[in-house]
Amino acid sequence: MVRNLKKASAAIALTALLAVGVASGAQATSGSGTAYFDNGQPITANMWIQSVAKGGCGSFASSAVMNVSPNWIRNTTSFYQYGVGSISIKGVNVSGSGTSNPATIQWTNSNGARGSYLSGTVCMGWGSFYLGADVAATAYYYGNLRTASAHV
């Protein structure tokens, strides 16, 4: 009976440890990059992606932002993985969303907006062990075209 009690206690302790590990495992990676127009105005690319376990899914958010309103501003976000299977993007209804490796989505604002934003859920292929992302922020402003990028 003592032996069974020790096994049960060990199983409970292991379950609690795993639960704490899973709960605290929601980590993320982020990055940004900036480029400048001839008049000194910056354009910034931002990328944030939740750490994804093997074959899993995670949240992401990307942006292309400026301090002023350009003629147009575009956010092109691409996901890549190491391993096999297709990447899928969920919760984003923009041109280019779908499944592929790499998977790319894009959104252009030409209505005087100062930014272009994308967010949703991305899932790596069943046989993959790493998922990363790139974002390119491109804008036409002040008679120039500039691109800033970030990689995570």
H-helix segments, the chain: 2-24
**111/25: higher pLDDT:** 111
In a domain, 6, yes or no: no
86 phi and psi angles, rounded to 5 deg: -100, 145
Task: Name the residue among 113, 112, 94 with its Cα closest to residue 103.
Answer: 94
Domain span including residue 34: 27-151
In a domain, 120, yes or no: yes
In a domain, 20, yes or no: no
In a domain, 51, yes or no: yes
Q: How many CA atoms lie within 13 A of 135 on its CB side?
A: 29
pTM higher than 0.95 for the full model?
no
- Residue 54 tokens read as 């093997």
Sign of CA dihedral 95, 75, 149, 138: positive
In a domain, 124, yes or no: yes
Reported as a single tens digit per residue, the pLDDT across 129-150 is 888 999 999 999 999 999 999 9
Instruction: Report the range of poorest mean pLDDT among 13-22, 23-32, 132-141.
Output: 13-22
In a domain, 85, yes or no: yes
In a domain, 22, yes or no: no
In a domain, 5, yes or no: no
Distance spanning both ends of the chain, measured CA to CA: 52
Rounded to 10 degrees, the C-alpha dihedral 20/56/48/84 comes to 140
Q: What is the pLDDT of residue 83?
A: 84
CATH number of the domain encompassing residue 140? 2.60.40
How many structural domains are present in the chain? 1
Q: How far is CA 53 from CA 1, 38, 129, 137, 139, in A?
A: 39, 43, 7, 28, 34
